[in-house]
Chains A and B, each alone.
Chain A
Amino acid sequence: MAEQPLLSVENLTVQFRGDNGWVNAVEGVDFAVGAGECLGIVGESGSGKSVSALSILKLHSQANTRYASGTIRYGDRDLLTLPQRRLRQVRGGEIAMIFQDPMSSLNPVLTIADQIMEPLRQHQGLSVQAARRKAIELLEMVRISDASRRIDDYPHRLSGGMRQRVMIAIAVACRPKILIADEPTTALDVTIQSQILELLRELQREIGMAVILITHDLGVVAQFAQRVVVMYAGRVVETASVPALFERPMHPYTEGLIRAVPNLDEDVHRLTTIPGSIPDPSTLIAGCRFSPRCREAVKSCLAEPPALVDAGAGHFARCPPRIAAGGIS
């Protein structure tokens, strides 16, 4: 990551129209992804992890969204200020996306063939025959057996795992540089999840694409990503390499989250909890947004919003007291 990253998001603030005016859904978010790298963005509901990722392609409803600050640098372009027409060329071509629910992402009245061929013809200008050949190749690439027959099926004939494979086939059709995967396995069973993650890993290597994986599941991040961004209540609270984050979490929230996950390999009497609940985005909290739930909050935490501080070796955390104390308690 010493060289220029492939995509970098800087100081991104996205606002949604709420009942009482504009509400910050994410605030001052920074992250970057290098070519071929897998970046995990992890957080609970309301953390802004999906909002940040959807902003990369400006996929929010225009009427109710405002990009109050920030740049999204991709090559020499800023995707936030790119005209719609040019942005459309980036979408689905150089930057592709898959979503949580493969059921509603596929159009039920079109066959799989129709839906895979569309981007091929649009972005690569292939003829119908060539697009169909390519589509079958793609289905084989996502390990769908009997692809030449399956291609003429309608989505409802496929299982959830199969539909997600089709979505991945559509996403990688134009060999994107970046694949944004928004909770791609959340709706799937655990045995199917491991199949899909394995597939993504193999495709990432084959195509050499970067993957931005958005998930609430720390286990998925640990298995799949190289670097991880932890978000809480619209802000990045910690960024680190995966081994560093799981071995030495700096932010009390990250630490609490890791401890709150029930352990599959050990018997515990009670789970460790984080007290309180996740704040609503419209709730005003002076200072650190985690401070109302933090057991270690000191006076300065309540006074002003903390900055994301470098703790060395590419490990950043938004917790000055912890970093001043030299990391983990």
Chain B
Amino acid sequence: MTEVVLAAAPTQILAERRRFRVLRKLAAHRSFKIGLVLVTILVLCAIIGPMLTGIDPTAMSIRSRFKPPSVRFPFGSDQYGRDILTRVLYGGRLSLSLGLSVALISGVFGALIGVTAGYFRALDPYVMRLMDALMAFPAILLAIGIGAALGAQASSIVVALSVAYVPRTARIVRASVLVIREMEYLQAARVSGAGDLHIILKHVLPNCLGPLIVQLTFIFAYAILAEAALSFLGIGPPPPAPSWGNIIAEGRDYSVEAWWVMLFPGLAVSLAALGMNLLGDGLRDVLDPRLKIET
């Protein structure tokens, strides 16, 4: 057995270097870094920004209607004289947490449905046809329908968008499960006498998490954009509580005279979507071994 001791030395050195390979690769990935910075800034602004300005986002002041950007109103003010900067900072809280909720909910349900369909092949045709049917509707249309039925409130938008995006996450998870179920380590587990639940929890789920996380960053971005679109159509989170979407929606009638009302929340939406997409691209490059060849 002395022969193996010899072998251990060089690999040990290697192991130390390989352990944090994913993190090191992410740190070296340019678009991931840009995305991370963007998203971090936006999240920090939404969390601590409102405390710094100390202004009530719903406080109206007739005298300061439609003030262009200035020292007092850095982003200008709207038709009720409310500070746009404060409203954008507060709106970030709602919009970002809405995006996060949609990503988490569609992630959890998508994983459940995808694993069920991919692992238990007998259920697959039924489950996936249902998903196909859902996917046949444009996400926005589906959300409008559900939003209208549940009433205009933030929670119904979360439900509506989650329903719209679940088929996408379910498809991604199912596709990974179909690959994983053919791997020998599943058979090895089965030979050890492992049951389906053990195999799903220990082997299937951990290995399909990578692609799912990547997809969720994109869904996060879509959800923020969709919230803006739904607000624009009048079924977003109801005023006066600000979201990026409803600030834009309220500003659209004055877009020529008071361009700043729409511009700043619009910028926030774009930056958030861009940031999440860059983040997702970076994760995909690093986590997906099939794309590793050309970076």
A and B in contact, CB less than 8 Å: yes
Cα–Cα distance between A273 and B3 once the two chains are bound (Å) = 9
Known: A19-B25, A275-B2, A275-B3. A283 touches B10 (CB 8 A): yes
Residue from B2, B9, B17, B25 in contact with A292 in the complex, judged by beta carbons closer than 8 Å? B9
- Name the one of A19, A61, A283, A285 contacting B293, with C-beta atoms under 8 angstroms: A61
A sample of 28 inter-chain contacts (CB < 8 A) reads A19-B21, A19-B25, A61-B293, A61-B294, A63-B294, A64-B293, A64-B294, A273-B3, A275-B2, A275-B3, A275-B4, A275-B6, A275-B7, A276-B3, A276-B4, A276-B6, A277-B7, A277-B10, A277-B11, A280-B10, A280-B14, A282-B14, A283-B10, A283-B13, A283-B14, A285-B10, A292-B10, A293-B6
A20 and B13 CA atoms in complex are apart in Å by 14
Q: Determine whether B202 belongs to the interface, using a CB cutoff of 8 Å to chain A.
A: no
CA distance A310 to B182 in the complex (A): 52
B24 proximity list for chain A (CB < 8 A):
19
B3 — nearest CB in chain A belongs to which residue? A275
CB closest chain-A residue, reference B293? A61
Chain B residues 173-196 with CB under 8 Å of chain A are none
Query: Does A306 count as interface, using CB distance less than 8 angstroms?
Result: no
Instruction: Name the B residues within 8 Å of A275 (CB-CB).
Output: 2-4, 6-7
Q: Specify the main secondary structure of chain A where it touches its partner.
A: loop
Q: How far is the CA of A20 from the CA of B7 in the complex (A)?
A: 23
**In the complex, A280→B14 CA distance in Å?**
8
Interface string of A266-278 (1 = CB under 8 A from B): 0000000101110
Question: In the bound complex, what is the Cα–Cα distance between A279 and B6 (angstroms)?
Answer: 12
Q: Which residues of B contact A (CB under 8 A)?
A: 2-4, 6-7, 9-11, 13-14, 17, 21, 24-25, 293-294
Closest to B14 in A: A280
Within 8 A of B (CB), among A276-314: 276-277, 279-280, 282-283, 285, 292-293
In chain A, residues 60-81, which have Cβ atoms closer than 8 Å to a Cβ of chain B? 61, 63-64
Q: Are B10 and A279 touching (Cβ within 8 A)?
A: yes
Instruction: Output the nearest chain A residue to B11 by Cβ-Cβ distance.
Output: A277
Interface size (A, Cβ < 8 Å)? 16
Quick one: which of B2, B6, B10, B21 has the most chain A CB within 10 A?
A: B10
State how many angstroms separate the Cβ of A301 from the closest Cβ of chain B.
15
Interface of B is mostly: helix
B14: A residues at CB distance < 8 A: 280, 282-283
Identify the interface centre among B3, B9, B24: most chain A CB within 10 Å of its CB: B3
Complex CA distance for A280 and B11, rounded to whole angstroms = 8
Other than the given A19-B21, A282-B14, 16 more pairs (CB < 8 A) read A19-B24, A20-B17, A61-B294, A63-B294, A64-B293, A275-B2, A275-B3, A275-B6, A275-B7, A276-B3, A277-B7, A277-B11, A283-B14, A292-B9, A292-B10, A293-B6
Chain A residues near B7 (CB-CB < 8 A) = 275-277
By the criterion CB–CB under 8 Å, are A292 and B21 in contact?
no
Complexed CA–CA distance, A276 and B7 (Å): 4
Q: Report B-chain residues with C-beta under 8 Å of the C-beta of A276.
A: 3-4, 6-7
Residues in B with CB closer than 8 Å to A285 are 10
Residues of B within 8 A of A282 (CB): 14
CB distance from A295 to the nearest CB of B (A): 10
Give complex CA distance A103, B229 in Å: 50
Bound-complex Cα distance A273 to B294 (A): 38
- Look across to chain A and name the residue whose beta carbon is closest to the beta carbon of B25: A19
For residue B22, give the distance in angstroms from its CB to the closest CB of chain A: 11
Q: Hey, which chain B residues are within 8 Å of A61, CB to CB?
A: 293-294
Q: Which single residue of chain B is at the shortest CB-CB distance from A283?
A: B10
- In the assembled complex, the CB of B208 is this many whole angstroms from the nearest CB of chain A, namely 25
Tell me which residues across on chain A come within 8 A of B21, comparing CB atoms.
19
Cβ contacts A1-37/B at 8 Å (1 or 0 each): 0000000000000000001100000000000000000
Give min CB distance, A48 to chain B, whole Å. Answer: 17
Q: Could you tell me the distance between the alpha carbons of A20 and B2 in the complex, rounded to whole angstroms?
A: 32
Bound: A20/B28 CA distance, A = 11
User: In whole angstroms, how far apart are the Cα atoms of A309 and B87 in the complex?
Assistant: 79
For B4, what are the chain A residues with a Cβ–Cβ distance below 8 Å? 275-276
Q: Hey, what's the 0/1 contact readout for A187-215 against B, CB within 8 Å counting as 1?
A: 00000000000000000000000000000
Question: How far does the Cβ of B290 sit from chain A's closest Cβ, in whole Å?
Answer: 15
Task: State A43–B89 Cα separation when bound (angstroms).
Answer: 63
Min C-beta distance of A5 to chain B, whole Å: 34
On chain A, the residues within 8 Å of B293 by CB distance are: 61, 64
Q: How far is the CA of A94 from the CA of B125 in the complex (A)?
A: 53
Q: How far is it, in angstroms, between the C-alpha of A282 and the C-alpha of B11 when the chains are bound?
A: 11
Q: Give the CA-CA distance A61 to B192 in the complex, in Å.
A: 42
Looking across the interface, which residue of chain B has its beta carbon closest to that of A285?
Answer: B10
Name the A residues within 8 Å of B25 (CB-CB).
19
Chain B residue, CB-CB nearest to A280:
B14
A279 CB contacts on chain B under 8 angstroms: 10
